[in-house]
Amino acid sequence: MYDLIVIGGGPAGLAAACKAYADGLRSILVIERDKELGGILNQCIHNGFGLHYFKEELTGPEYAQRFVTMLGETSAKVLLDTMVLDFTPDREVHILNKIDGYQILQAKSIVLSMGCRERTRGAVMIPGQRPSGVFTAGTAQRYVNMEGYMVGRRIVILGSGDIGLIMARRMSLEGARVLACIELMPYSTGLNRNIVQCLHDYNIPLYLSHTIVDIKGDARVEQVVVAKVDENRTPIQGAEFSLDCDTILLSVGLIAENELTRQAGIEIDSRTNGAIVFENMETSRSGVFACGNVVHVHDLVDFVTAEGERAGRAAARHAKGETAKDGTVFELQADNGVTYVVPQKLRVDTPGKYVDVAFRTNKVSENSNIRVWSGRKPIACYHREYLAPGEMQRIALPLKLLEKAEGSVIKVSIEEAEDQ
Amino acid sequence: MYDVAIVGCGIVGAAAAWELSQYRLAVAILERENDVAVGTTKANSAIIHAGYDPKPHTKMAVLNIEGVHLAKELCQRLDVPYRQCGSLVVAFSPDEIPILQELCERGKINGVQDLQLLDRQQLHQVEPNLSESAEGALYAPTAAIVSPWEYALALAETAVQNGVNLFLNSEVISIRKEEEGFCLTIPGGEIRARTILNAAGVCADIVHNLIASPAYRIQPSRGEYYLLDKAEGSRAQHVIFQCPVPEGKGVLVSPTVHGNLIVGPNSQNVNIAQGTATTRSGLEFVMKQAQKSLPSIEFGQSIRNFAGIRANTEIDDFIIEEAADTPGFFDLAGIKSPGLTAAPAIAKLVVRMLREKGLVMEEKEHIVNTRKRIRFKECGQSQKEALARSNPAYGRMICRCESITEGEILDTLHTPIPPVSLDGVKRRCGAGMGRCQGGFCGPRVLEIIARENKCSPCQVLQEKAGTYILTGSTKGSIN
């Protein structure tokens, strides 16, 4: 019997395991399906990681290694190249690997940290022929950075998500020609710093409000047809141009990987596609916690780590029998201008003075206020100079404010601030 | 000298090969592509039609009915995913009810068993997500869904095990008549055969015209589809048709044997070169039509779009006959829907025709007529334990979405027709068929193919010749 089994050894799972150890658990198992710990960080060989958490700039593998080293100094056990097939309500975890075969393990607490996967061509329904040379940006990144192979020479990138932007620079550095980055929305969904450092610095044009309307090529990609779109995201006829290329990289969004979560019957939020969680990252199943991109897709690993630590701390408490008390539970909801909120549930009787609330907005806005509502009564307000859907917003909500709350629903909304 | 050369290894060619492989005959299959089942066979609705649709007494009608029974038995024997889920033709207004009655009558003449007309209430009970406007339906319990490419693969693999020679990458360039039969030129060689079966699908007219005088013309007709995530797989319980229109059977919604939902097709005449491209307008049309049947389909769950081509001809029937001016050259042409269903019956008909023409058919004493492959995810817990113990490769999960192990991928590479591409592996074991479409497992499968075939990863293909994936090493390094 393990105190804690962590499913997924990326940054979220590593942070959870380290924190649970720091909080006194000794019998911890981290299960990773890849050949090594670190998750997607291992293929993110660019820098920019750790500015918040370590106050210094690291590469992805360096960031991961700090936690791998930290974990190595604990008594936690690691199983690599191991797949979790299933886990049951009484926290039996069914695993499979080459060495132990099929095994069933038992845990007091479980942390889910399986990360996310990329949306594909089929998900965004790009018409045209189906030649080879269409990759999701992350798959291309794996080939280039981990396997040491090039995926093409003349590249068009669809979507301005962060991985796509990073790959624009990466492919340029490898001698490929990146012809364009095409974004359906009137704004980029990636971080501003990546637009500057990965596109502008390499003279790669960014076409906002454009999309790929046709892919040509019988065997390998030969050409894409790009069109401007109107405000309903419908391509405008007659406004097409074509680019001769051999490769298309897709950076069109990430989806939390919740097959196990769903299989276990845990409640899922249709907005995040991740588990509905309490302020301590506990899911609708007692003793099962979730953190990182499997809950909602993050921009920065530093915040994934913070969330992992929160889950690890709560999982440790649960394993030690200090289960959450049944007190008042508030529901957090996304309101005007907000697409989702995590956590979705909040117990008032929780340790600490603040609750971290993360959310995203649905459009770019300047000089705005984030308001927290209890019924019709605003209980908190946070000013922001700039908001964009590509950048996750976080507020630290003082628990004390909830004493004044009415009813059981708390809403978060965005409104333009009045000029001062 | 072969007794029979089959041109094309889709479902029709594969079924003919399997049927002929039971006799003491020298049989060759000439396939243009680097794998079997990669034309119309891999891109269609994947349905075993009950048989109420074709006009009575046509070849289509007779072979459809016979095919339903043969398919059921063959799929079981050759371990091909098959599920008899039944089909519904739905009337969406009272005006369409007479069409159902007509289809029902036609079905009875054709010999379809257990047809039943459902009223509104019965219909909504068996298919709860149907549109409110559904007024009634024709229920055909014998209709089924199948994995079409695995069906063709199973037939072709078994035929090969029984001694049939399969030549891949062997497009027939020319055919000439010789004293004792035909000589077929393929890239880098010649094949001689007494008899030719033309099962070249959408290219059948081209192959026909290489030796015989033109008798028909194939008009390729494109059908576009959506494949939806397994989360949508239970949206439909049956194959759901709308009332037929002149262009075909209309847009259908159906579960697949792999647990997904398939939606399509439209129908548009095209040339072969553009045949399998999808279009925005086509996909939009399919979506709109399908929502008429099931308004609640979540198209946001789409994981793949594709298009297939029907081999339509001006004749409203299959063309299964000896070419008038070329004895020994047999067309199995114009095999549009219900061709997948009829294929094994077409094969039996061909054997009868060849026998009548004097080909001596002696049954072999021993033939392989079963096939079995390991499907890890469908095994029970103890079986899984035993598999992983017996061969550690079954303990390594490669495809997360579809739960396909390294052992199953290695198995495909050692089948009688080993795959040479990622898609070839996918068709044989399902790796890469899931919601991430090979995003995670693609690089691993590529590595396994390169390792097992002792080739460079840069030589591994996505699908047909020319569909390379990697273009070289980074920084020109030696990898």
- Neighbouring CB atoms inside 10 A of A76's CB total 23
Strands (E), A267-318: 288-290
Strands (E), B343-407: 397-399, 404-405
Nearest-5° Cα angle at A371, A368 to A372: 160
Sign of the alpha-carbon torsion through B428, B429, B430, B432: negative
Task: Flag if B393 and A138 touch (Cβ within 8 Å).
Answer: no
What is B156-224 written as a DSSP string? HHHHHHTTPEEESS----EEEEETTEEEEEETTEEEEEEEEEE--GGGHHHHHHTTS------EEEEEE
- H helices then E strands: how many in chain A? 8, 28
Q: In the prediction, which pLDDT does B241 show?
A: 97
Residue of chain A nearest B306, judged by CA positions: A130
pLDDT tens for A316-370 read: 999 999 876 778 899 999 999 999 999 999 998 888 899 999 999 998 999 999 9
> pLDDT confidence of B477, banded at 50, 70, 90?
low
Is residue A139 predicted with pLDDT exceeding 90? yes
Pick from B245, B241, B288: which is nearest to B267 by CA? B245
Residue pair A195/A220 in contact (Cβ under 8 Å)? The answer is: no
Q: Does A96 touch chain B (CB under 8 A)?
A: yes
Residue of chain A nearest B477, judged by CA positions: A148
ipTM value for the complex: 0.95
Mean pLDDT over residues B217-240, rounded?
96
Is residue A416 predicted with pLDDT exceeding 90? no
B447: tokens are 């590595």
- Give contacts of B278 with chain A, Cβ < 8 Å: 127-128, 130
- Neighbouring CB atoms inside 10 A of A196's CB total 11
Is residue B327 predicted with pLDDT exceeding 80? yes
Is residue B392 predicted with pLDDT exceeding 80? yes
User: Is B57 one of the annotated active-site residues of the chain?
Assistant: no
Task: Flag if B302 and A117 touch (Cβ within 8 Å).
Answer: no
Sign of the alpha-carbon torsion through B250, B252, B258, B261: positive
pLDDT tens for B81-101 read: 999 999 999 999 999 999 999
CA distance B476 to chain A (A): 9
Is residue B377 predicted with pLDDT exceeding 90? yes
Q: In the prediction, which pLDDT does A93 show?
A: 98
- Give contacts of A142 with chain B, Cβ < 8 Å: 443
Is residue B475 predicted with pLDDT exceeding 90? no
Pairing relationship of beta strands A354-361 and A338-342 according to DSSP bridges: antiparallel
Task: Flag if B466 and A149 touch (Cβ within 8 Å).
Answer: no
DSSP state of B268: E
Is residue A375 predicted with pLDDT exceeding 90? no
Residue pair B151/B75 in contact (Cβ under 8 Å)? The answer is: yes
Is residue A102 predicted with pLDDT exceeding 90? yes
pLDDT tens for A271-288 read: 999 999 999 999 999 999
pLDDT tens for B200-214 read: 999 999 999 999 999
Interface-testing mutation among B470, B473, B477, B478, with chain A (most A C-beta atoms within 10 A): B470
Q: What is the Cα–Cα distance from A184 to A187, expressed in whole angstroms?
A: 8
Pairing relationship of beta strands A116-118 and A134-136 according to DSSP bridges: unpaired
Is residue B248 predicted with pLDDT exceeding 80? no
Mean pLDDT over residues B49-73, rounded?
98
Mean pLDDT over residues A48-68, rounded?
97
Is residue A406 predicted with pLDDT exceeding 90? no
Which residues between 349 and 408 in chain A have a beta carbon less than 8 angstroms from any beta carbon of chain B? none
Q: Where are the alpha helices (DSSP H) in B330-380?
A: 339-356
> pLDDT confidence of B247, banded at 50, 70, 90?
low
Is residue A395 predicted with pLDDT exceeding 70? yes
pLDDT tens for A234-272 read: 999 998 999 999 999 999 999 999 999 999 999 999 999
Q: Does A150 touch chain B (CB under 8 A)?
A: yes
> pLDDT confidence of B478, banded at 50, 70, 90?
low
Is residue B107 predicted with pLDDT exceeding 70? yes
Rg (CA), chain B: 23
* Tally of CA atoms within 13 A in the half-sphere of B350 that contains its CB: 33
A373: tokens are 């509502």
Return contacts of A230-236, CB within 8 angstroms, 24+ apart.
A233/A184, A233/A185, A235/A211, A235/B280
Mean pLDDT over residues B124-130, rounded?
97
Q: What is the mean pLDDT of chain A?
A: 95
Distances from the Cα of B140 to the Cαs of A282, A317, B247, B343, B411, in angstroms?
48, 58, 22, 20, 37
